[in-house]
């Protein structure tokens, strides 16, 4: 029985020794609300306690359209700065736990991976996307900043110059473009995404599990040591945005399906 409301988890699926997490708020394009963050955090602990039995974790979105379309704007639009701090630090921590999990983690990106959804994918080890996926960090269109580790992880992946360009212009990337920058490792037709992912799972399951985890840890080692302060700064800067009228306007405009009118206050 699935004990989570916003997430489905499948053990030994699509094959033995593989776990699949499916984000399941399809009507909201799997947008991440506080319950989803809490459930993801609990689920990662649950997976951590049985990880010896498994070889790989896969994350994907429920439905045809979306991986995860970011943090839930409707919920965030009503948050005080203190509530936002709690929510965003929980999201940062859940993604850190995911990144540190002793299993290779694959993001199977089957549609929108925007904002917190892209940040989630960036916390995974391998990203496979369908041709119709759209990726990016459009937070500044809402008066907020990427605040689930995106400013740190994207910068590490593509370098400061490209990260600034993408984040400061709210750039949305098609899967092929993200592939060209090494952000996505494989791109395929939507109907081939299962097959591509399954081949990769099969390959990883056949490799030496201890060596895989040790390799993952070694690759990440200096990044963790150097980014603690970066995460703190990102969180504080994000919470500052919740003091601004522009954030209220940006989120209200999204919900009212109109262009935001920012006044720099
Ligand atoms: N939060 C809450 N609801 C969302 C959502 C989100 N992030 N993304 C989509 N939805 C909802 C829409 O409001 C809409 O609801 P209604 O049917 O009730 O109107 C429903 O999902 C379908 O969305 P659209 O009608 O907009 O679908 P579309 O195909 O026209 O557009 C989209 C899809 C391009 C993904 C568009 O929905 C969109 O731009 N979403 C927001 C993406 C975004 O800005 N994400 C960043 C959020 S901030 C963040 O993530 C902070 C952080 O770092 C932690």
Catalytic residue among 39, 75, 99, 139: 139
In a domain, 224, yes or no: no
Query: What is the mean pLDDT of the segment spanning 231-249?
Result: 97
The answer to whether the beta carbons of residues 45 and 7 sit under 8 Å apart is no
Q: Return the pLDDT at 227.
A: 84
Q: Return the pLDDT at 1.
A: 63
Query: What is the mean pLDDT of the segment spanning 103-110?
Result: 98
Predicted confidence (pLDDT) at residue 68 exceeds the cutoff of 80: yes
Predicted confidence (pLDDT) at residue 133 exceeds the cutoff of 80: yes
| DSSP letter for each residue of 15-50 | STTEEEEEE--GGGTT-B-HHHHHHHHHHHHHHHHH
In a domain, 181, yes or no: yes
pLDDT in tens, 78-89: 999 999 999 999
In a domain, 88, yes or no: yes
Q: What is the CATH number of the domain that holds 158?
A: 3.90.226.10
Q: Which domain holds residue 104?
A: 7-190
In a domain, 54, yes or no: yes
The answer to whether the beta carbons of residues 45 and 8 sit under 8 Å apart is no
Query: What is the mean pLDDT of the segment spanning 26-48?
Result: 98
Give the end-to-end CA distance of the chain in Å, rounded to a whole number: 48
Burial, 159: exposed, middle or buried (Cβ in 10 Å; 0-12, 13-18, 19+)?
exposed
Within 10 angstroms of residue 66's Cβ, the number of other Cβ atoms is: 25
CA distances from 4 to 7, 44, 50, 116, 239 (A): 6, 12, 18, 20, 28
Query: What is the mean pLDDT of the segment spanning 199-223?
Result: 95
Which residue among 29, 31, 112 has the greatest number of ligand 1 atoms within 8 angstroms of its CB, and so is best to mutate?
A: 29
In a domain, 220, yes or no: no
Catalytic residue among 39, 75, 99, 119: 119
Active site residue 83: no
In a domain, 43, yes or no: yes
**Ligand 1, residues at Cβ distance < 6 Å:** 28-29, 31, 69-74, 91, 112, 114-116, 119, 138-139, 142, 144, 146-148, 150
Q: Return the pLDDT at 28.
A: 98
In a domain, 93, yes or no: yes
pLDDT, the chain, mean: 97
Q: What Rg, from alpha-carbon coordinates, does the chain have?
A: 18
In a domain, 195, yes or no: no
Active site residue 52: no
Is the pTM higher than 0.85? The answer reads yes
Number of domains in the chain: 1
């Amino acid at each position: 029985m699935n004990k989570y409301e916003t997430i489905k988890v499948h053990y030994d699926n699509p094959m033995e020794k593989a776990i699949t997490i499916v984000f399941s708020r399809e009507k909201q394009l799997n947008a991440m609300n506080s319950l989803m963050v809490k459930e993801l955090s609990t689920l990662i602990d649950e997976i951590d306690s049985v990880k010896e039995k498994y070889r790989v974790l896969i994350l994907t979105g429920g439905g045809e359209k979306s991986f995860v379309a970011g943090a839930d704007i409707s919920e965030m639009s009503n948050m005080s700065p203190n509530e936002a701090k709690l929510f965003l630090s929980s999201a940062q921590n859940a993604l850190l736990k995911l990144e540190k999990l002793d299993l290779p983690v694959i993001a199977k990106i089957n549609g929108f991976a925007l904002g917190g959804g892209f940040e989630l994918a960036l916390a995974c080890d391998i990203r496979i996307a369908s041709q119709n996926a759209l990726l990016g960090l459009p937070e500044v269109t809402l008066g907020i900043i990427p605040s689930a580790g995106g400013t740190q992880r994207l910068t590490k992946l593509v370098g400061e110059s490209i990260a600034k360009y993408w984040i400061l212009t709210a750039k949305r990337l098609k899967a092929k473009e993200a592939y060209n920058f090494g952000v996505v490792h494989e791109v395929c037709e939507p109907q081939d995404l299962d097959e591509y992912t399954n081949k990769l799972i099969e390959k990883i399951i056949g490799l030496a599990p201890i060596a895989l985890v040790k390799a993952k840890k070694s690759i990440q080692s200096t990044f963790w040591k150097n980014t603690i302060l970066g995460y703190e700064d990102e969180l504080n800067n994000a919470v500052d945005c919740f003091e601004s009228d522009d954030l209220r306007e940006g989120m209200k405009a999204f919900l009212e399906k109109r262009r935001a009118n920012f006044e720099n206050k």
